[in-house]
Amino acid sequence: MDLNPVDITGVTGPERYDKYVAVRSAQGERTLYTIQVRLADVPLVLPIPDPEQPTPGNRRVSLPHAKKFGEYVRDKTDWVAPPLLARDDGRCTFREQQVIDGHMAIGILEVPWAASASRTLKIIDGQHRALGISLQIEEIARATSRLEDDLLRAKDEAKKDQLRRQLEELEARRGRLQNEHFTVQIYVESEPERYEQMFYDVADNALGINQAVKVRFDSRKVLNRTLYETTKHALLNGRVDEEQDRLGGSNPNLVGAKHVIDFVRTVNVGVNGRIGRKREAELDEASLIEAANEYFDCLISGFPILEDLIEGKITAPELRASSLLGSITILRVLAGVFHELRENDCTSDEVADFFARLAPHMTAPVTESSLWRTTAAKQDFSERALGPHARSANLKHLTEEITRWFSNPPDGL
């Protein structure tokens, strides 16, 4: 019996690798491949780190930090993240298809399959991002299974409709993971000492981002959106350091951008107050700014030395050396006092008058005979200090103590 010809054009047999369109280039005497990986495929391509067990050549991951990144991607459709950095010990194969000027080429990168414990690719930078996405994938799978079971058992049509809507939301989340990508940059490096050095170099060369810069650029938080308008106040205008969190010495600024946001928060929710998601949604910039400006007005009215600062009669370094008002911590405490008094229905004029009563006692360094060392406030000040201790417990205690002085002043006030 004659057999008809069989078309075997598409038959490959078992393929023990994944294929990606890749760009090959060079960096630091190493070959570098750049590919795009769907978020849903991250656990298939990269080893997902275990928070309980550090990966050799890398550091232990923080589970809360990884969860936070996953939630960020989940909640922000305009999320952004840098490339994941991985290494290959030479097992990947690049099939060159087109050479590009600059010692680059476009082609197909074949990444061999391997058991999860021995992935071909290893993470250099991006452990928390990879774990965060993996946790989201697992969360969607668990929630989908639970809702499908609930739907099978549900009798009420309204309940069924609610469950179907929740399943649709999960499907939309799953769709995003299928359609959105990470850039993965793969370095060819097999020497343990060299790839451990790569991890160190990446971490060491990252400048990082301090709170002053965060509050300037993270516009998602309502507090941060108040920064620009708040710094227009006469007390702050031209006296806010936009780059540094710590001020001192000859720094010509009164406060940093981070501290302005701390003042706005404290004025509106108290010295230890927090703004969670629910409260974040309830607050508006205008009311936050108005309350902060009211506080700064009270400071200027109550403390003549701050008027001197505005008029250029004294500099910020001179203020820090001679007055407690040069202390960022005392300014935050006074913001807490302002909040408490306003909550107790005191007017702004009454707060300003109270500040004026405090004014003669703001000389720095503090002396043993001052209010700060002869009252319960003593626990919040060291001898000869230029400002109070900045620990949360001290902030809370000193705020409560000064607030109490409004209606029950100590001797000398």
What average pLDDT is seen over the chain?
89
Q: Among 81-95, 198-212, 262-276, 319-333, name the one with the lowest average pLDDT.
A: 198-212
Q: Tokens 């391997």 — which residue?
A: 114
| pLDDT score at 245 | 77
Measured CA to CA, the distance from residue 61 to residue 55 in angstroms comes to: 9
Whether residue 326 has pLDDT greater than 60: yes
| pLDDT score at 113 | 74
pLDDT interval class at 117 (50, 70, 90):
very low
Helix extents (H) in 122-226: 127-153, 157-179, 192-205, 211-217
% the chain with pLDDT above 90: 69
% the chain with pLDDT above 70: 93
Whether residue 48 has pLDDT greater than 80: yes
pLDDT (mean) for 30-57? 89
Whether residue 6 has pLDDT greater than 60: no
Check if the beta carbon of residue 241 is closer than 8 Å to that of residue 253.
yes
User: Residue 66 burial (CB < 10 Å; 0-12/13-18/19+)?
Assistant: buried
| pLDDT score at 96 | 93
- Reported as a single tens digit per residue, the pLDDT across 54-106 is 777 677 888 999 999 999 999 999 999 999 999 998 889 999 999 998 889 99
pLDDT interval class at 293 (50, 70, 90):
very high
Check if the beta carbon of residue 322 is closer than 8 Å to that of residue 249.
no
Whether residue 182 has pLDDT greater than 60: yes
| pLDDT score at 208 | 67
| pLDDT score at 15 | 62
Q: Which of 275, 325, 323, 267 is nearest to 294 (CA)?
A: 267
pLDDT interval class at 405 (50, 70, 90):
very high
Check if the beta carbon of residue 198 is closer than 8 Å to that of residue 187.
yes
- Reported as a single tens digit per residue, the pLDDT across 342-366 is 999 999 999 999 999 999 999 999 9
Could you tell me which residues come within 8 angstroms of residue 230 by beta carbon, excluding any fewer than 6 positions away?
236, 260, 263, 264, 289, 292, 293
Taken as a whole, the chain contains a residue count of 413
| pLDDT score at 243 | 81
Check if the beta carbon of residue 105 is closer than 8 Å to that of residue 120.
no
Q: Which of the 8 DSSP states describes residue 50?
A: B
Return phi, psi of residue 26, to 5°. Answer: -130, 145
Question: Which pair of structure tokens corresponds to residue 114?
Answer: 């391997």
| pLDDT score at 2 | 60
pLDDT (mean) for 106-114? 86
Q: Tokens 């047999």 — which residue?
A: 13
Whether residue 252 has pLDDT greater than 50: yes
Helix extents (H) in 41-111: 42-45, 63-75
Q: Among 103-107, 136-140, 201-205, 212-216, name the one with the lowest average pLDDT.
A: 212-216
pLDDT interval class at 116 (50, 70, 90):
very low
Measured CA to CA, the distance from residue 282 to residue 378 in angstroms comes to: 38
pLDDT interval class at 196 (50, 70, 90):
confident
**Helix, strand, or coil (residue 107):** strand
Whether residue 337 has pLDDT greater than 80: yes
pLDDT (mean) for 218-231? 86
Q: Among 22-26, 81-85, 116-120, 346-350, name the one with the lowest average pLDDT.
A: 116-120
Whether residue 300 has pLDDT greater than 80: yes
